[in-house]
Amino acid sequence: MGEMKRTYLAVFEGIPKVKGFFSTKYGACKGSPYYNEAVLEETGLKAMQRIQPQQVHKDKIAVISERGEAPMTLPETDGMITDVPGVLLTTVHADCLPIYLFDPKKLAIGLVHAGWRGTAAGIAPKAVMGMEAAYGSSPSDIQVFIGPGISKCCFETGSEVLEVFSEKWSFAQEFSEKRGEKYYIDLKGINKRQLASLGVNASAITVSSHCTCCEQELFCSYRREGGTYLRMGAGLCLIE
């Protein structure tokens, strides 16, 4: 399979006890769970229990405390945390950011779906605080990967969206650029600053350079396509 025909990109590759992925448009399909079975087969995660949130662009974080056999659907949820091996946390994307969290000391993970509304609501730091409360995680121990998503180059919006960010995050203006009457906002940068402000080491936060809107050859994009039936999948699992 050629480089540009990959069905997924690996996340936390080479790190013991955890395995993650972000599927490309070659690993996408039109029905839930929106990434095809080949992705799970290639990652070796097909036998894991899938947790599938019904995403609503808010900041609810679910705590998964045990492993079952059947896939589990979570209503009105955009983030999950767990310390249970064999539980595959999943989210679906078509421009919104997947944010992966791993605490190698407490062996706990988190995965969130962060669009602009979720980012404004602080869903990523809320997941870190959830890991701190549930597992005793220290933010300074947590490793983060902010995955492929719409980047500043393509996230054009009006002043009303920037105002939402500015009301909640004093640094939001630093991550925006005005071009004519429109603003271009760096969602990845805002998420990184939110997490660093909470105590996550900036050096432990990796930010993907991939823009789902720009890179038509590898990703599907809701904004670029004016709506799309396809979704890309993110997954994260603790491995025994």
Per-residue pLDDT, 115: 97
Residue 32 has pLDDT above 80, yes or no: no
Rounded CA separation 116/164 (Å): 10
Tokens for 93, please give them: 């994307």
CA dihedral (83, 209, 141, 176) positive or negative: negative
Residue 33 has pLDDT above 70, yes or no: no
pTM: 0.96
Residue 144 falls in which region: left (phi positive, over 0), alpha (psi -120 to 50) or beta? beta
Residue in the structure block whose two tokens are 């997490």: 195
- Residue 24 sits in a domain of what CATH number? 3.60.140.10
CA dihedral (167, 170, 172, 178) positive or negative: positive
Residue in the structure block whose two tokens are 């080491």: 201
pLDDT digits (tens, 9 = 90+) for 72-91: 999 999 999 999 999 999 99
Task: Quote the domain boundaries for residue 44.
Answer: 3-238
Rounded CA separation 8/221 (Å): 16
Percent of the chain with pLDDT over 90: 89
Do the beta carbons of residue 79 and residue 41 sit within 8 Å? no
pLDDT digits (tens, 9 = 90+) for 115-141: 999 999 999 999 999 999 999 999 999
pLDDT range class, residue 1, cuts 50, 70, 90: very low
- DSSP-derived letter for residue 106 is T
* Domain count across the chain: 1
